[in-house]
Structure 1
Amino acid sequence: MQVLQLDEKGEIIWKENYDFSDRDVLSTIIKSNDDTYVIGGFIEKKSKSGQKNCNYMLFKINNKGEKLWDNELKSQANDILRKVIETRDGGYLLSGTRKKKGSSDFLVIKLKDKDKPPTEKINIEAFPNPAQSYTNVIINYEYSYGTATLYDLNGRMIKSEKIDGSRTIPIDLSGLPQGIYIIAIDTDVQKDGIKIMKN
């Protein structure tokens, strides 16, 4: 992967190469709240058997292009990272797809940033928000069972489903009009709610 920083005239300030594997693909870059850059993509590696797998790769650089840390999220599938966002608690939410044995699924992963001081814990988050056809509710604590219920702003229940300890709950918004909705998460540990905007 190659990253360049340009001035307002398009002149190169610095240029750095970051080599992780034979095939590195950069797909997303964000400027973090601490004036650093978090860069995400996927890398292709061969296993001992010769099979090729793709893994999420995330790394952080300072404003001079110096690498601060990197994190390869290894798996036995083809994981293609599409997007990274910084969460309110200073961590990162990674989203993309996982392809394995002919099937393809969403893959969402939450990471902490070890360089940032701990902040007040947020019990639940939603990504994307605003959303179009779906969102994922991220539950940031351990639980055993519960329900996820979608309400409109009038308090009318649209749908409800049981949840069984999963930390990522996909919520289908297709077929609903634009507007603001509330997702209530009621588990054996606690109750939480979050507003979702559909656009």
Structure 2
Amino acid sequence: MSALTICTILSNAQEVVWQKDIKSGTQDFLSQVTTTIDQQYLITGSSIQSNKPLSEGNKQNNGYDLHLIKLNQQGQEVWEKYFSGNNHDYLSATISTQDGGFLISGTTYSAKGLDKKEDSKGGSDIWLIRLNEFGDELWQKTLGSASDEEARSVIQTTDLGFFVAGNVQNSAKGYGSKMF
């Protein structure tokens, strides 16, 4: 049994205000905590859902999924979402958008299937998913080439677009950086 542990600390008194343990039967990786436009918290990471029965509407896959949990200011769960490909998918960066939604970015080893709507570009790819404030998908995009790409960071630009930075491994050129 593993758990992601989240704490909020008062900046002046440095006392724990609340602590939230998110129970899991598998290994989980917490990537980021983002403050939302409504002053709540979006906790993001990667998890394996193998302990959840398929009858609950969950989809069985073969690896890690993108995992999002929105908590209110008291640490109570508002909603929880998973985005699954048919192989390992790792969440690396999350931002709150100017309209109150989110953009999540990660590295995917999955082809088209389950929640992933575009096929692999070859090797690992960057997977971007745009969400509204309730965690509902607005759109998604798979970025990559025949090489291995991985997302590392994302920002929203002043024209409301997005800038994604990451790494690329090319057998002929070695390692490098890539910006989309």
Q: CA deviation at 1:39?
A: 0.9
| Residue ranges of structure 2 left out of the alignment (5+ in a row) | 55-59, 112-121, 136-158, 166-176
> Do residues 7 (structure 1) and 7 (structure 2) align?
no
> Do residues 134 (structure 1) and 179 (structure 2) align?
yes
> Do residues 16 (structure 1) and 36 (structure 2) align?
no
Aligned residue for 1:165? none
Aligned residue for 1:60? 70
| Residue ranges of structure 1 left out of the alignment (5+ in a row) | 116-122, 136-199
Residues paired across the two proteins, number = 126
* Deviations 1:143-198, CA, capped at 9 Å, x for gaps: xxxxxxxxxxxxxxxxxxxxxxxxxxxxxxxxxxxxxxxxxxxxxxxxxxxxxxxx
> Do residues 41 (structure 1) and 37 (structure 2) align?
no
Runs of 4+ in 1 over 6 A off after TM superposition: none
> Do residues 77 (structure 1) and 81 (structure 2) align?
no
Question: Which protein has the bigger strand share?
Answer: 1
1:36 aligned partner, one-letter code:
Q
Larger CA Rg, structure 1 vs 2:
1
Q: CA deviation at 1:22?
A: 1.3
CA distance in 2, matches of 1:15, 1:86: 23
Counting only pairs closer than 5 Å after superposition, residues 1-199 of structure 1 correspond to structure 2 as 1-8=4-11, 9-46=13-50, 52-100=62-110, 103-114=123-134, 125-128=161-164, 133-135=178-180
Q: Provide the TM-score with structure 1 as the length reference.
A: 0.55
CA distance in 2, matches of 1:28, 1:61: 13
Asked whether the 8 Å contact 1:37–1:63 carries over to 2, the reply is yes
Other structure's SS at 2:107 match: strand
Asked whether the 8 Å contact 2:106–2:126 carries over to 1, the reply is yes
CA distance in 2, matches of 1:78, 1:24: 13
CA distance in 1, matches of 2:124, 2:25: 24
The alignment yields a C-alpha RMSD, in angstroms, of 3.0
- Between the aligned residues of both structures, percent identity stands at 25
CA distance in 1, matches of 2:10, 2:124: 40
Q: CA deviation at 1:52?
A: 4.2
